[in-house]
Structure 1
Amino acid sequence: MSETVPMRQEVLVSSFDAPGDSPFSWLHDMAATIRDHMLLRGAVLIHGLPMDGPDSLAKARNALGIAGHTPTEAFNNRSDFGNGIFSPINWPNDRVICPFQESSFSRTFPSVVLTACITPPDGEGQSHLSDTRRIAGHLPAHLADRVRTGGWTMARSFHDGFGITWQEAFSVADRAALDELFETTGIKPEWLPNGTLYTVRHRPGFIDHPTTGEECWFNQISFLNAGNLDPVERDIMTDAFGKYLPMNTFFGDGSPLSDEDLTAIQHAYDSVRVGVPWRRGDLLITDNIIMAQGRSQFEGSPEFLIALGGE
């Protein structure tokens, strides 16, 4: 997606500097304070931690008392370093990632996302955070109400030779295990005549935060919509797959989103967005319901690691 409004200048994210001595013990002692700040601001940025690989991120997660979370469905291939540590989603550095919430297309999703900066990007590359408690106030009332009352629908197709396989996406080896997973996750499957798996699920567009009770925009209706693909790439995929695109979204009743709808949603994200510049060793701790995460274009060879946390 293109960036449509200037970056907001105020910094809403709480930040702390970790001490040079015993930083993980300090992190453990600060866990309650960090959680309180995260619930208030949506995210906390810790500077000065020895974040140098998967083990250090796992150590930080454990110091904070955050349990690991294993997704039931993968968006695309991520490197799995074990112990609940992953790479970010696979996305070209020269493309913006619009803010999204991890696994918001699933019934089960992480409550917290920890992002460790091992090597920062060159130049002015930033992560973008958008406070989902404020999204509705920047949307046309009719659009917010439609998503609030009707939710949204996501369709996903698994074509041979394109993208990840259904075995990789759902971490299952056979059809029996896949059918059982669909029963528990509320996904409706259809096997097309050519053997392609086509799936549809309906999800709420807003949810109430389990701790604060605040209403939060919680969906990927814009991020995963075919209308936000590069036009040339969209035409190629439409020619190849017809209506069974690898990924697409709709309103809850199955109606398509207009270009005006997509523009309005992106404007709402941009209107509440703040930028987070990166330093080596930074740890960003975000509430996955309150805060949607994306990023600008990145230069150089940045390296980040992700830990998904549950209750």
Structure 2
Amino acid sequence: MKPFALLTDSGCALTADLRSRFGIDSYVSGNVTFPDGHTEKADLDWQRRTPEEFFSAMSSKKFLLKTSCPNIDEIESMFLPFVEEGREILMITISHGLSGTYNFALKAAEKVMEEHPGSKIRVVDSLRYSTAQGMLLAYASQMRDEGKTCDETADWVEANKNRFHQIGIMDDLFFLARTGRVNKAAAFMGSLVGVEPMADFSDNGLCTVVGKGKGKKKSLDACARYLEKLSIDPKSQTMFLAHSLREKEAAYLKKAVEERVGPKEIIVSSVDMFCGANIGPGLVAIFFYGQPISKDLIEEKKTIAECLQGK
């Protein structure tokens, strides 16, 4: 039996080299509409512009972008070649709270399976975005390499996705507030000079502020302590670290985590275009596998408070 196809969307932040490494068979692109009114497919490989050009343009806060998800027909067109090859499909999508991709993928899968009896398509809502979604795909790829079936892999991802954490800092929450991804009170705090909002995923998959640091280095050091406290077997993990126009801070956080827990590998990449249009410049965050995320982030908020105190 052929191995199942592993598919995703343009919210996963996996460039061509990483998609090849983790055996991502295909992805469907969402859309980004630019200030002049033209729309482009979100490009995971940054072929038309560099991440630096993209996020630098957003720095003025006048370069405002809009995103939209791929439609059902586009997702169906991605599924069909693999169904025709007789392969089962697992698609892991960006969080339904950030995009309509998951719901459209469910509809596309239902249509394809009705028209092709005996085919199997599992669609899993990652409840994550960008590099965290990419990390889930990397774990799914490893399970496939170990001989796990499509159902076994999909079930594991469903059961464990709320063990995938984010911790990092965001210079300015302007773009997230503009698109309703954080509230205006949190955005105001994030605009204060020297205040660094720090976020993890909530139990429903939304990126939520768990603490506020003062000063970048102190905050990034607290992030490394947070990871140490909440991660499981960090030395065996391939972790992912993403940034939007913050290479210096990303390098600092990478070194701090390496010195504190010594993970197997830390893959550093830019936030992807599709998610970056709503995040803007100023993010640096590391993603890791750890303890289940607690209800209302009670444990996470307690932990980051301790870490900011140097405990």
- Which TM bucket (shorter chain)? under 0.3
TM-score by length of 2: 0.27
- Flag the structure with higher helix content: 2
Q: Which has the higher contact order (CA 8 A, sep 6+)?
A: 1
